[in-house]
Structures are given as structure tokens and as C-alpha cells.
Amino acid sequence: MDVAALREQFPILSRTVGEYPLVYLDSANTSQKPTAVIDAIAAHYRDHNANVARAMHMLGAEATEAFEGARAKVATFIGASRPEEIIFTKNASEALNLAANSLGAALRPGDEVVISVMEHHSNIVPWQLACERSGATLRWFDVTADGRLDLEKAASERLINERTRIVSLTWVSNVLGTRNPVADIARQAHAVGARMVVDASQAVPHQATDVAAIGADIVAFTAHKMCGPTGIGVLWGDYDLLASLPPFLGGGEMIEIVEMERSTYAAPPHLFEAGTPPIAQAIGLGAAIDFLSGIGMDKIEAHEHAITEYALAKLTAIDGFTLLGPAEAVERGSAISFNIDGVHPHDVMQILDSRGVAIRGGHHCARPLHKRLGHQSSTRASAYLYTTPGEIDALADALVFTRDYFAPKFG
């Protein structure tokens, strides 16, 4: 993969921050956008802007064709059996809330929902609310010292058992980078009659995805982490399951017939897409999928694996550097969270920003995980398809500078 040529397609990567070239290492937060995506969104607003489905004129037909074409692209990209299994939401958080409200509508007292302590808040809070509404019990996988799911402890505690109704796990941790064995856990869930939900927000942008192969019933991810626009997420679900679920939101387009006494509802995907959908955003997502597919997800995954190996070796060699998560690039994504001895992550983030290096500091919407690992917060650097070894070098140099500035004992 010609990363130098690839980077030329991302206008923002040529920016400078003061005297420094921009080193963007916050792609787990949001990725940058190639010209193809920016142009696709602009072209829609400039030449084809209209509402979908409702407008029976030429512009409406063009907008609808592009919108539904994007749905078909998403279905192909993740191996869905039909486009109608693709639900457009405003982000992955809304997709997970949809799952917790619709799939969770059948929960009763005595039922159990299983998540993990490494989840993003978006895959914790909706299930807490679902359990509060239903009287079900929330349980969770613990993690080992090196940031893997503690499968032995889960087995000994019979975490997944005959009372389990839903298991909802992240495929790749946004903090630790850990890639979880979701296919194996899905088999365990199905063996006891439970449904499997997968938060794939940190997986789909970085690796080839086949939803059938992982055995999930519902998968959620978001466009803005995969070179697409903000404002649109995706929920994939087995069609028969989706057709059996109650709606999440009410409004236009999700209905069949509305009477004052009662309403009947449309079939999926429209059952879950009330109101005007994110039309331009879906078109931008379709362009992002074309862009990623043109490169090849196998090449993107290989590049990120090499960058992650290089970064782990480079960063863990720094005195005072404490890594959160697996120290080897095995079953691991490219997000690397860490702390520098004696320096608050927000200070690290601010000093690095002054040197052109964009990273994230905080608990990354995963406070329970940080608490479990004994850290108040952490600093996170996250690479993507456009990241170069030179940018990792710039990160390492900036971290040494920051460490020595705040903790002279290392200098």
C-alpha cells in the first residue's frame, strides 16, 4: 500500500500546527475524510438534494436511488444477506440503544444481560437502562492484567448460562486495542438461547468483516471512524429477528397505516428509520466504502498491524511509559492507551498538541475499565490507514519531551 500517495487524498493531513506538520493519531475517535467522500457529499447537496421516498420528482428519485444504493454498499461490505438488514442510525450509540430498547423489550425479572468491563459507555448505559426497566440483571466479563477478557473466570462463574438472554460485547476495545473472540462467545450465547450483539465500531473500519462468520445477531458500527461523515451509524441485524422486534422510534416512514386509535408498521429497514434519514451522510458512507474497498481491507489491516507493531516497540522503550492493554500486536487493534509517570493525560495531550501531535486524553468513554485497571484516565494514540512510521517517531519524541518537561528526573 502506497501510504504516501494515499495521504495525498486526505487534504487535512497537509495542515500544519504552528511550525509543526500535523501528526493525526486520534483516528479511534474519528477518522479523517478523503476527497472522494467530501466531493460525494458536496455533489449531493449541489446537484441532487431532495428528501427520499416521499418526493416523487426527479430529484427525489435521484436522492432515493443514491440513499438506497449506499445501503446496498454497506450490506455487501459486511457480508449481509440482503440490504434490508441494514438500518441507518445517527451513530453506533443510537444503534446500540435501538438494540437495547427493541431486543431488550422481551427482558423480564430473572433474565440476565452480559456485557464486559471493557465496553464503551454506549454499550453499558443502554443495557443498564434496559435492566432497570425490565428487572433483569446486568452481569459482565472481567479482564486480565494484560487487557484480555477473563474467559477462565467467566467459565468458572457460569457467566453465560440458562438465564442469559442477551450478550453484548465490543469486538475491538477502543482503549486497550484488544480483539475479543466474539465468534466463540456468540456460540456460547446461542447454545443457551441468548442473542449476541457486537459493537464493531473499532473493527469494521480496520478489517474485513463478515457478519455471518462472527455469528452475531446484531452488529453496530459508525461511519465517521471509517473515512465517512459524522451523523450516521449502522445497525445490521438478521432480517427475521429485525422483523420480530418492536420499533424504537415513531414517526414518518416507519409506518404502514396510521389511525387515531392505532398504527401498523412498515417492514425493516424502514421500521427502524423514523423521519427524514441522514441522506447526505449515507451517500458519504457509500463513498467511503468505495474508497476503502478500492484499497482493500486486507491491505489496510496489514498496514495497521505493521504500524501497531512498530508503535508498541517504540513507545514501550520509553522510560516512564506504562501501557494499558496487550503489549504484542496479536489479536489487537491499533489503539494504544498509556500513561506517562507523573504527568496527567490532559497535560500530555496539551503539550503534544503544541508540537502538532493530535492524540486523546481522558477515560475515552470507558470509565469502568480505567477504574478496574487502577488508572484515573489515560492517553491514547490511534493509527489508521494513513499513519506512517515517521508519525510514530514524532509521537515518541514528543512524549519524551513532555515527560522530561514535567518529570525532570528522566531528563
Question: Is residue 116 within 8 Å of 92, Cβ to Cβ?
Answer: no
Q: What is the DSSP string of 295-317?
A: H-HHHHHHHHHHHHHHHHHHHHT
- For residue 269, whether the previous peptide bond is cis, meaning omega lies within 30 degrees of 0, is yes
Tell me how long the chain is. 411
Question: Is residue 272 within 8 Å of 87, Cβ to Cβ?
Answer: yes
**Catalytic choice (365, 367, 375, 404):** 365
Instruction: Measure the CA–CA gap between 293 and 77, rounded to whole angstroms.
Output: 8
The Cβ of residue 251 has, within 10 Å, a number of other Cβ atoms equal to 11
Q: What is the DSSP string of 318-363?
A: STTEEEES-SSSSSB-SEEEEEETTB-HHHHHHHHHHTTEE-EEE-
Question: Is residue 84 within 8 Å of 269, Cβ to Cβ?
Answer: yes
Q: What cell was used for 319?
A: 522510560
What are phi and psi for residue 380, nearest 5 degrees?
Answer: -130, 130
Tell me whether residue 227 is one of the annotated catalytic residues.
no
Alpha-carbon torsion (363, 368, 197, 185), positive or negative: positive
Please give the C-alpha separations between residue 237 and each of 79, 254, 387, in angstroms, as whole numbers: 12, 17, 32
Alpha-carbon torsion (344, 345, 347, 348), positive or negative: positive
Alpha-carbon torsion (103, 104, 110, 112), positive or negative: positive
* Residue from 64, 119, 71 nearest 272 by CA: 71
* Residues identified as active-site: 365
